[in-house]
């Protein structure tokens, strides 16, 4: 299953949960309205209207997720992911409006005392059932919402968790009303309303930030920049931008590479980065990488040598079996930076592989060699290392002079096969 199908299945899963929650909320709204009317409980009827608002919110969420799960088209080449964010925005406005309406009703009830002729067992039972169903809805929607990063589902889960608290407060209000304690119902209704308004405004704010392409995850931005910078062949990364599109994220960045890297290799490098990011971050929908070839101020080169005698050291005719390697820094002038011994000489197998693994740890840009086998050549090229051919018996000084005078020719292919390497070992 490819990356796109996984995302579509996740959105459809979220839509199913939202539809299921819609029916459960419809049942709770009808139950509380009927029992509230039958037993003359205005606070339970107000809570029924609150549950009725949840029906619309769940429907808006399922509709937004349905639109977001639609396939991309010529008219909508980036998909309809932001439909889910628009649904979340609608949810926020609806919650805020409902909160103000409930607050006004609560204020009117402050000075009215509800009389219960008998113990309100059915209204209290309705609040208990409502609390249990709200808990099930909240846990399910939060789980799926976090799994697919759906802001509308997470918002509805928050509302469902709030419903648990609301139902318990309503139950307390009914009990206090039964004991003829004044003002309680109205005050509780107003408190419920304020909580609903706060949650609604929060959802409006988050939705607007997403629609305005605000960066909501700076930690992820730093993390992606660090991962790209560690990629071999990348000389630097900048302008990492992340914007939210519904439950998914879109990433843009600029990477700097050596100007000597061919176009097809630069494309392979960018594709490799994209694949890595997709594997590690399922919520990232697409990655756009702008490539900037640069000419480095300083390049680092490796030269295989036989023994060390400063710049008079003679280049080794064997790359993988040289006794030493000289690290040269080339800028306006070239200078010897370091020398290290070949720690793999005593190995009988895979010496070329191990030598290259050691060398690339130095983040080298070039290798100067007399000859090179297929394995070492392929590995170095895969790590975007330029390889130049030099004459045997050349000294480090000869190689430096030839490089500055542009007399070195690139080694375009391995000089001998794997079989020849085994014969000449």
Contact (Cβ atoms closer than 8 angstroms) between residue 325 and residue 307: no
Question: How far, in Å, CA of 84 to CA of 65, rounded?
Answer: 5
Per-residue model confidence (pLDDT) at position 423: 47
C-alpha torsion sign, points 24, 25, 27, 31: positive
Residues 228 and 245 in one domain: yes
SS3 for 423?
Answer: helix
Q: Are residues 46 and 157 in the same domain?
A: yes
pLDDT at 368: 94
Nearest-Å Rg of the Cα atoms of the chain is 34
Mark whether 184 and 40 lie in a shared domain: yes
| CA–CA gap between residue 390 and residue 411 (Å, rounded) | 9
34 and 59 in a single domain? The answer is yes
Longest Cα pair distance anywhere in the chain, in angstroms? 111
Domain boundary among 236, 267, 294: 294
> What's the pLDDT at 139?
87
Please tell me whether residues 74 and 202 are part of one structural domain: yes
CA 87/CA 378 separation, integer angstroms: 52
Per-residue DSSP letters for 355-370? Answer: HHHHHGGG---EEEES
Residues 232 and 305 grouped into a single domain: no
Domain boundary among 194, 211, 228: 211
CATH number (domain holding residue 278): 3.30.70.1350
**What is the dihedral sign for C-alpha 107, 108, 112, 118?**
negative
Report d(CA 94, CA 49) in Å as an integer: 12
Residue 302: the pLDDT is: 92
- Closest C-alpha to 308, from 342, 351, 334, 331: 342
309 Cβ partners below 8 Å, 6+ apart?
A: none
Instruction: Answer yes or no: do 189 and 47 share one domain.
Output: yes
Give yes or no: residues 14 and 39 share one domain: yes
The structure tokens listed for 149 are 């990063």
| End residue of a domain, out of 211, 228, 254 | 211
User: What are the beta bridge partners of residue 301?
Assistant: 328, 366
**Neighbour-count burial of 389, counting CB atoms closer than 10 A to its CB (0-12 exposed, 13-18 middle, 19+ buried):** middle
Q: Given this model, what pLDDT does residue 418 score?
A: 61
Q: What's the confidence (pLDDT) of residue 388? A: 92
What was the pLDDT predicted at 193?
79
Question: pTM of the prediction?
Answer: 0.55
DSSP 8-state secondary structure symbol assigned to residue 323:
S
Residue 163 contacts residue 130 (beta carbons within 8 Å): yes
For the chain, list residues with pLDDT below 70.
1-11, 50, 53, 56-57, 59-61, 63-65, 67-69, 105, 109, 111-117, 149, 152, 182, 185, 247, 295-297, 418-425
Q: Are residues 393 and 254 in the same domain?
A: no
Q: Residue 193 burial (CB < 10 Å; 0-12/13-18/19+)?
A: buried
Q: Provide the number of structural domains found in the chain.
A: 3
Domain check: are 303 and 155 in the same one?
Answer: no
CATH of the domain at 14: 1.20.1510.10
In which domain, by residue range, is 385 found? 299-423
Domain of residue 352, CATH code: 3.30.420.130
The answer to whether residues 250 and 148 belong to one domain is: no
- In terms of domains, do 175 and 33 share one? yes
Tokens 């309303």: give the residue.
193
């Amino acid at each position: 299953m490819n990356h796109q199908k996984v995302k579509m299945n996740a959105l459809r899963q979220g839509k199913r949960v939202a539809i299921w929650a819609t029916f459960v909320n419809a049942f709770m709204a009808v139950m509380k309205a009927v029992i509230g009317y039958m037993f003359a409980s205005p606070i339970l009827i107000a809570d029924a209207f609150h549950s009725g608002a949840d029906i619309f919110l769940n429907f808006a969420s399922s509709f937004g997720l349905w639109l977001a799960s639609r396939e991309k088209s010529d008219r909508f080449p980036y998909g309809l992911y932001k439909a889910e964010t628009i649904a979340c925005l609608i949810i926020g406005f609806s919650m805020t409006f409902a909160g103000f309406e409930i607050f006004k009703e609560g204020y009117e009830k402050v000075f009215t005392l509800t009389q219960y002729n008998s113990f309100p067992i059915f209204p209290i039972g309705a609040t208990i059932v409502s609390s249990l169903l709200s808990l099930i809805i909240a846990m399910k929607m939060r789980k799926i919402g976090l799994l697919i990063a759906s802001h509308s589902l997470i918002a509805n889960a928050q509302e469902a968790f709030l419903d648990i608290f609301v139902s318990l407060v309503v139950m307390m209000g009914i009990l206090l009303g039964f004991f003829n304690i004044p003002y309680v119902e109205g005050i509780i209704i107003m408190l419920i309303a304020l909580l609903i308004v706060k949650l609604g405004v929060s959802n409006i704010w988050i939705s607007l930030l997403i629609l305005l392409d605000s960066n909501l995850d700076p930690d992820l931005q730093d993390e992606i920049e660090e991962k790209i910078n560690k990629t071999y062949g990348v000389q630097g990364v900048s302008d990492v931008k992340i914007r939210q599109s519904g439950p998914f994220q879109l990433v843009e960045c600029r990477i700097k590479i050596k100007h000597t890297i061919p176009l097809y290799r630069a494309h392979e490098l960018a594709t490799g980065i994209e694949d890595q990011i997709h594997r590690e971050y399922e919520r990232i929908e697409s990655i756009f990488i702008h490539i900037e070839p640069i000419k480095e101020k300083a390049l680092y080169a490796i030269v295989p040598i036989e023994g060390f005698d400063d710049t008079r050291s003679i280049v080794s005719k064997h790359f993988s079996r040289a006794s030493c390697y000289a690290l040269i820094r080339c800028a306006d002038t070239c200078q010897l930076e370091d020398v290290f011994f070949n720690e793999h000489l005593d190995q009988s197998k895979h010496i070329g592989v191990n030598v290259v693994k050691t060398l690339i740890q130095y983040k080298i840009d070039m290798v100067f060699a007399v000859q090179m086998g297929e394995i070492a050549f392929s590995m170095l090229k895969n790590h975007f290392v330029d390889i130049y051919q030099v004459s045997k018996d050349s000294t480090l000084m000869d190689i430096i002079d030839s490089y500055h005078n542009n007399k070195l020719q690139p080694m375009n292919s391995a000089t001998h096969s794997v079989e020849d390497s085994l014969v000449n070992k």
